[in-house]
Structure formats: C-alpha cells, structure tokens
Amino acid sequence: MKTIRTVEEYIKAAVATARFERIEDGRKVYAEIPGFQGVWAEGHTRQEAREQLREVLRGWIELLLERQYALPAVKGMRPNQFTFA
C-alpha cells in the first residue's frame, strides 16, 4: 500500500474525496469527507467550503495525533507517522 509522507499530502488527498451539496435554498455549500467522522464545513461558495474543510481537517488530524489514534487511509493510501511542529 502506498504511503502519504506529509500532512499536506494527506489533507490534499482527503479533500479531493470531499462531497459538496448546496444547502439553505442554494445560498450555502456544505462539504464533508466520507469516512472522516465530524469533518465538515460550509461556505457561501464551493471554494470557501473547501478552504474551511481544509482547516477543520487540519484540526481533526492534530486531535487524532495528540490522542494517538490512527488516521484513516485515503484512496487506499496510509499516512506515514507525522507530527505537527
């Protein structure tokens, strides 16, 4: 199985699997990453929702690493052990 070497690679790969949906009569965009429980965001545009999703995911990753939980595979790729400086 291929590995992901950096946090940025992991975030990029995970966000690439995100699902987007128009909500609130089309005024907002909701985004979530399948398999990443609790990782979701919303924005007025798809790009804004994607940027928010990246920030939420970054915090989620930090929390899991702090608690020493394994990060899920993304597109069949497992992350190497990495930490935040």
Which portions of the chain are predicted below pLDDT 50? none
Q: Residue 1: its pLDDT value, please?
A: 55
Q: Residue 22: its pLDDT value, please?
A: 97
Q: Residue 78: its pLDDT value, please?
A: 77
Q: How far is CA 5 from CA 9, 30, 64, in A?
A: 7, 29, 17
Q: CB-based contacts of 23: which residues, under 8 Å, 6+ apart?
A: 29, 30, 42
